[in-house]
């Protein structure tokens, strides 16, 4: 009982923060044996010697501290004379830098780009434009983009009005068609040419039941898409021959399938030979080329030509070439103002094209490049000033694709013809046809084994 009272006194003393009562101390000192496991050597420390920490007042909960973005690394020291420019911070500044970067890339991507409007995927124009890209692209200052076109008339319209168009390959008779139909009243001031490229042959492919062109009277004949160069040439050709046909305007690959199925009687295609569309037609298909008879009216506009077995071995017999006519292919440009960026860009293209022309004469470039004479003048057209300036700087040069002596000899030939026939002059288109005959005559003189060009029938000489 005594031990219980002592323990209670000790609890009361501890609660009041005072000293342990003497009685409790005595009782503790005189207590019975400690329970097992209790270390009796532990010294009892008086409560007054124990320093209690004061109770801390309750703390308010703190808001989470917002992390500040790490400071950017210090910029390198600037020149003392330069004004201090602090780097922009934040998402807005990053967006601004991204926009400026995109603008710079856009500027570099469009620098020196020249678009070339060509023809369909199976024609010669697109091959010629692809050759331009292969030869003239330099990765930095110039890049050529061939564009699939929809015929000569449409190519001229696109060159006039479609944004981003620089060059168009068209037929030489397209301006005559546009003038005749008054499609673009100011065409003579707005369009120029760089050079005549090569001759494009008129192909008329028909089935077994068509032997001559007269057999097509009143029947379905495809002339390619409306507004194309082939359609314009076909109209001129049939008018000159007094032939009336029912014209259709399917694209050429579809027209070939319809011809094979007998849905149309023939198809007309103006393209440089050989064209891939006809080259792979199998022998025995029943299809063949129809010859075009020459007359005086045709020679006013077109040049005599022929298709041979070398051009289409599965369609033409070695001993029977097919007479036809040809029209020149022209590299046309828009007549930009001289102080404009487009003018400077196009002029750079012209100089690069003329300077590197020899590369177009080597394999694997199209064989039609062999026909190009950069100095040839094109009747009814005006040459682009930078092209004429390039030619003027080389009045006595003879190089790849450039034969001024040939042009001068033809000029002398024309003068002789005018005097011999008592003419005071001739129409430009007459000169074009005569020039082709002059080339054929000169080739025949140089190569006796080649067949001599037959004489022009009476009354067929251009007036």
Structure tokens at 220: 């379905």
Structure tokens at 195: 């050079």
At 293, the pLDDT band (50, 70, 90 cuts) reads confident
Mean of the pLDDT values across residues 214-221? Answer: 97
At 454, the pLDDT band (50, 70, 90 cuts) reads very low
Q: For residues 37 and 377, which has the higher predicted lDDT (pLDDT)?
A: 377
Whole-number percent of the chain with pLDDT over 90 = 42
Task: For residues 114 and 15, give the distance between their C-alpha atoms in angstroms, rounded to a whole number.
Answer: 100
| Cβ within 8 Å of residue 75, ≥6 positions away | 87
Task: For residues 458 and 463, give the distance between their C-alpha atoms in angstroms, rounded to a whole number.
Answer: 12
Task: For residues 61 and 206, give the distance between their C-alpha atoms in angstroms, rounded to a whole number.
Answer: 97
Asked if residue 256 has pLDDT above 90, the reply is yes
Give, in degrees to the nearest 5, the angle at Cα 369 between 359 and 436. Answer: 145
Residues β-bridged to residue 454: none
For residue 37, the tally of other CB atoms under 10 A from its CB is 5
Task: For residues 401 and 421, give the distance between their C-alpha atoms in angstroms, rounded to a whole number.
Answer: 32
Whole-number percent of the chain with pLDDT over 70 = 62
Task: For residues 361 and 358, give the distance between their C-alpha atoms in angstroms, rounded to a whole number.
Answer: 5
Asked if residue 444 has pLDDT above 70, the reply is no
Contact between residue 305 and residue 325 where contact means Cβ atoms under 8 Å apart: yes
Contact between residue 199 and residue 305 where contact means Cβ atoms under 8 Å apart: yes
Question: 3-state DSSP call for residue 174?
Answer: helix
The pLDDT of residue 11: 52
Contact between residue 252 and residue 122 where contact means Cβ atoms under 8 Å apart: yes
Task: For residues 268 and 245, give the distance between their C-alpha atoms in angstroms, rounded to a whole number.
Answer: 12
Residues β-bridged to residue 385: none
Task: For residues 365 and 331, give the distance between their C-alpha atoms in angstroms, rounded to a whole number.
Answer: 17
Contact between residue 171 and residue 330 where contact means Cβ atoms under 8 Å apart: yes
Task: For residues 313 and 308, give the distance between their C-alpha atoms in angstroms, rounded to a whole number.
Answer: 8
The pLDDT of residue 138: 86
Most confident of 149-158, 215-224, 416-425: 215-224
Structure tokens at 376: 């040839």
Task: For residues 381 and 329, give the distance between their C-alpha atoms in angstroms, rounded to a whole number.
Answer: 12
pLDDT tens-place string over residues 76-131: 444 444 444 445 556 666 666 667 677 767 766 677 899 999 988 878 899 999 99
Mean of the pLDDT values across residues 178-186? Answer: 88
Contact between residue 46 and residue 19 where contact means Cβ atoms under 8 Å apart: yes
Burial of residue 99 (CB within 10 Å: 0-12, 13-18, 19+) is: exposed
Contact between residue 307 and residue 278 where contact means Cβ atoms under 8 Å apart: no
Mean of the pLDDT values across residues 444-458? Answer: 38
Structure tokens at 325: 């006519």
Rounded mean pLDDT of the chain?
Answer: 76
The pLDDT of residue 36: 47
| Cβ within 8 Å of residue 38, ≥6 positions away | none
Residues β-bridged to residue 326: 201, 303
Domains of the chain: 113-446 (3.40.190.10)
Residue 368 backbone dihedrals phi, psi, to 5 degrees:
-65, -20
pLDDT tens-place string over residues 330-339: 999 999 999 9
Contact between residue 192 and residue 346 where contact means Cβ atoms under 8 Å apart: no
């Amino acid at each position: 009982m005594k031990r219980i009272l002592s323990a209670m006194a000790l609890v009361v003393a501890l609660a009041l923060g005072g000293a342990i009562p003497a009685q409790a101390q005595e009782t503790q000192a005189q207590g019975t044996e400690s329970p097992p496991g209790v270390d009796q050597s532990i010294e009892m420390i008086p409560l007054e010697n124990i320093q209690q920490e004061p109770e801390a007042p309750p703390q308010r909960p703190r808001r989470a501290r917002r992390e500040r973005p790490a400071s950017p690394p210090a910029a390198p020291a600037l020149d003392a004379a330069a004004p201090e420019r602090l780097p922009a911070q934040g998402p807005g500044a990053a967006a601004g830098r991204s926009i400026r970067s995109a603008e710079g890339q856009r500027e570099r991507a469009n620098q020196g780009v020249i678009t070339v409007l060509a023809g369909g995927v199976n024609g010669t124009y697109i091959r010629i434009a692809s050759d331009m890209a292969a030869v003239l692209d330099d990765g930095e200052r110039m890049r050529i983009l061939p564009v699939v076109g929809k015929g000569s008339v449409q190519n001229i319209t696109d060159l006039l009005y479609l944004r981003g168009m620089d060059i168009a390959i068209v037929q030489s008779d397209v301006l005559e068609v546009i003038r005749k139909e008054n499609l673009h009243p100011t065409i003579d001031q707005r369009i120029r040419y760089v050079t005549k490229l090569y001759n494009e042959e008129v192909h008329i492919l028909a089935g077994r039941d068509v032997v001559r062109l007269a057999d097509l009277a009143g029947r379905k004949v495809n002339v390619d898409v409306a507004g194309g160069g082939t359609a314009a040439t076909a109209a001129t050709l049939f008018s000159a021959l007094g032939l009336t046909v029912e014209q259709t305007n399917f694209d050429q690959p579809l027209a070939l399938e319809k011809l094979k199925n007998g849905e149309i009687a023939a198809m007309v295609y103006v393209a440089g030979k050989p064209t891939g569309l006809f080259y792979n037609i199998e022998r025995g298909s029943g299809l063949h080329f129809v010859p075009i008879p020459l007359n005086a009216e045709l020679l006013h506009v077109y040049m005599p030509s022929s298709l041979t077995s070398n051009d289409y071995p599965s369609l033409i017999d070695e001993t029977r070439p097919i007479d036809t006519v040809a029209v020149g292919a022209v590299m046309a440009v828009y007549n930009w103002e001289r102080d404009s960026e487009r003018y400077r860009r196009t002029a750079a293209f012209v100089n690069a094209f003329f300077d590197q022309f020899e590369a177009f004469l080597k394999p694997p470039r199209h064989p039609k490049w062999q026909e190009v004479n950069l100095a040839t003048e094109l009747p009814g057209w005006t040459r682009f000033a930078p092209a004429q300036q390039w030619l003027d700087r080389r009045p006595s040069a003879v190089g790849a694709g450039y034969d001024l002596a040939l042009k001068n000899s033809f000029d002398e030939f024309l003068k002789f013809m005018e005097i011999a026939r008592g003419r005071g002059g001739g129409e430009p288109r007459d000169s074009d046809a005569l020039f082709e005959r002059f080339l054929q005559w000169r080739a025949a003189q140089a190569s006796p084994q080649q067949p001599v060009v037959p004489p022009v029938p009476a009354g067929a000489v251009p007036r």
